[in-house]
Structure 1
């Protein structure tokens, strides 16, 4: 008997020898001349499947059914959403599920509360629980995308003044622009450089008429709300050479801020790739990104993004902008400024 025939015979016997449970049966088919093979396993319903699989599934299904009954108190939840929520709640303890339901009822009863997430008076709910754990689930339970929460902290942008005349006259080097509270800088910049990382912004060399903004590794909605940023003749962005850095750049543009990137192309990556890393500060692998066109990236940036997303890539996943000497970035900023002045003459 050939090896494959021996393996097939063993598998066939294993199927015939398994102990069935009520609601689960094995159907077979006959292969000429008279050879019977397992064809399919038929499971009548969920209860039969749970009994057949065993393990912790009976407990999980029972728990899910109880929670499904609780969710019927929220008419905004359709069947598909209810199933998704039950799956998300599966690892939660009952006490936390109860907290979620009470929080959802509170928001449904107080649509005009005017509170921050940390001020919501639900007994047993920690001040950070809603933001960190339950916000999206509460929204889905009561069918609202906006729970009417007031921002607990006004959005702020940290600035570094780079103009040599301003600094020589004793002007402050660092500042904070708070939205809605007079966000005007000490002077109207001719050059705005948004830096993904704080150290780079704070240590950037002098640039006539320049202001460096700490991007803080986030999207550009707050920075884009500053009118004086849009009015600057030269608007630049510099971030890490990795998938996340390029996606953040694209977010700034999608927020309505027209910025040019510096040192975020394949040539720069190749030059400094020897200082690259594959793991973040938390020792977790650097996220590779999703291959495909990213809305908001320009051709040279998209080329780098494609390289970083290539599964066959053998180079590092990230080159942090701090690994590139500030002198290189400073020279590039001055070159962009000179080019802009030349176009305007």
Structure 2
């Protein structure tokens, strides 16, 4: 794979006790050091114009001033320092790079993966939330639409937390399909099955909220039975993955049971979906807070794209998860 990375993303440091640490990217890069094929691209930061295509001008100005004044606690979970503004622009720019290379047809060993931070999918148009300041994947999606590089974009969010910000930004839009598979009753209080979009965007939002303890077998079934068919009907030009790895069975802030091999299988499934849609595929890093498991999972995804076959999955889908999948399939069929 080709990985987007800028050193500026390491300058956002919310402190040694904060789970969203610059050590996340350092650990990933260390794990990839043994992969001779890993290539890094220092894409340009997002411009203010690209950010304002998604975010409210008053909020962006407030965020920039907040950092210029030294930062601090924006809310109980979200902390900035003086350099967070530059890190956020760098992170958004890397996501734009991933989307544009995906649209251009980079695939196989050149599949783009943005390693930006801070993450973005919790940030709505007018606020910072859940460790996130600028919504990287939303800025990337809007960028390729505004540039005329794509007419329709699909975002598949497998982070363990619902991407409330991404959903909010595109909730009334017909040109972006947002599909989230996440843990039920976790942060934030959104991502319910009845949230399907509004106005022109009715039917372009899909939420699959699994109970705690769900394994990757259920995620694979959801992609095969619900997300894949929905995206084939939507017919996107590009599929962007909000790739959080906090659903790992050893992650400290989730209760899901996805294995490292499970993430390889998820990557295989989304590649198949994108191929079936005739769409490009790009990845944008979101969460993942056990450093070793995060690094191993990203390395495993990279190994798959370097033509290593993922392990076969033969585990059964648990009854509670099966009920969620069946409800989601019926919901999609009704819309």
TM-score by length of 1: 0.27
Q: Which has the higher contact order (CA 8 A, sep 6+)?
A: 2
Structure (1 or 2) with the larger CA radius of gyration: 1
TM-score by length of 2: 0.28
